Amino acid sequence: MQVELKSPCKVNFILNILGKRPDGFHELETVMHPVPIHDVLTFGRGGSGIQLTCDLPGLPTDSGNLVYRAAAKFLEEARIAEGVRIHLEKRIPVAAGLGGGSGNAAATLLGLNQVFGGALDESILRRVAAGLGSDVPFFLQNAPAIATGRGENVRSLPPFPTLAGVYILLIHPGFGVSTPWAYKNLALFPEALNGKRGRAQRLVERLDISIAEARPDFYNSLEAPAFEKFPLLEIFRDFLRENGASIAMMSGSGSTTFALVEGRGKAERLEEMFRSKFGASCWMRSVLIQSPR
């Protein structure tokens, strides 16, 4: 039996960091939204150990890959001695703030659980996911969500009616930002490090009314360190804001900038303008964030 799963990415509408914890992680509140741009994973039983292949040269296929670590954890928790074969087709840029690797890890847990007839129940999957990475539990579900703690406490939200028919434009500059680096350098920006709790919930409430109403709450604490090291990212964001985006900001720890654009024509024009201004070296994708009603 072979199982094929699409592994989507995400953006953060708000990533509000509340402070550093004694365990070294940062307490935060975030609203994450799935984006229908996918990697594809296929899973099968057989052989011995974990045989991971990937179409992207340069990506590790051993324990340096979160897919491998997720598979190892799954087999250990489920006490399965049999081998597995996994193939990963990479479409989402890496170290991009889009949660590509975290999504792959969650898809691996879900895919292997299908292949092995539901060996692990949901609560165990959630615990294993949280152990693999702060963003992994979000990808066990496929809906917008508010997340707290270090990001692992996930509460699914109903779709935002205000996002029906809205396009999202993703722009990756061709270089990545390391997540540990971004968090470490947040220490230099006390205001960004010590956000006030409650903004994420306020964003959710206001986004139920309109994008304009919620605009002040779209915010990312990690823009502070990222923009200082990579001023180009701030230039990208401001260009998008000045040329038709309803919202433009960095996602996660970067380096992807995203824009929410109301209407297909506007989205196409913005993409074209961005391309002619900044050239073709960026990876760019534009999709409907949510189908029209």
Candidate ranges 25-33, 38-46, 169-177, 227-235; the one touching ligand C5P (CB under 6 A) = 25-33
Q: What is the closest distance, in whole angstroms, from the C-beta atom of residue 195 to ligand C5P in the complex?
A: 12
Q: What is the closest distance, in whole angstroms, from the C-beta atom of residue 243 to ligand C5P in the complex?
A: 32
Question: Known catalytic residue: 62?
Answer: no
Residue with Cβ nearer ligand C5P (26 or 199):
26
List 10, 39, 73, 90, catalytic entry: 10
Q: Which residues contact 109 (CB under 8 A, 6 or more apart)?
A: 70, 73, 74, 120, 125, 128, 129, 140
Number of residues that bind ligand C5P (CB under 6 A): 11
Q: Would you list the DSSP string of 107-134?
A: HHHHHHHHHTTS-S-HHHHHHHHHHH-T
Dihedral of CA atoms 154, 184, 21, 32 in degrees, nearest 10, equals -10
List 20, 135, 238, 277, catalytic entry: 135
Residue 28, interface with ligand C5P (CB under 6 A)? yes
Residue with Cβ nearer ligand C5P (17 or 261):
17
Q: Please give the Cα distance from 290 to 293 (Å, whole number).
A: 9
Instruction: Match 């180009």 to its residue by tokens.
Output: 232
Q: Which of residues 93, 111, 151, 195 is near ligand C5P by CB under 6 A?
A: 151
Candidate ranges 21-29, 56-64, 198-206, 236-244; the one touching ligand C5P (CB under 6 A) = 21-29
Q: Would you list the DSSP string of 49-115?
A: SEEEEESSTTS--STTSHHHHHHHHHHHHTT--S-EEEEEE--SPSSSSS-HHHHHHHHHHHHHHHH
Q: Which of residues 46, 180, 279, 292 is near ligand C5P by CB under 6 A?
A: 180
Candidate ranges 117-125, 128-136, 155-163, 272-280; the one touching ligand C5P (CB under 6 A) = 128-136
Residue with Cβ nearer ligand C5P (25 or 283):
25
Question: Token pair of 223, please?
Answer: 């823009």
Residue 26, interface with ligand C5P (CB under 6 A)? yes
Residue 12, interface with ligand C5P (CB under 6 A)? no
Q: Are 138 and 147 in contact (CB under 8 A)?
A: yes
Question: Known catalytic residue: 196?
Answer: no
Q: Count how many Cα atoms sit within 13 Å of the Cα of residue 142 in the half-sphere of its side chain.
A: 12
Q: Please give the Cα distance from 181 to 191 (Å, whole number).
A: 18
Question: Which residues are annotated as catalytic?
Answer: 10, 135
- Residues near ligand C5P (CB under 6 A): 25-26, 28, 133-135, 150-151, 179-180, 183
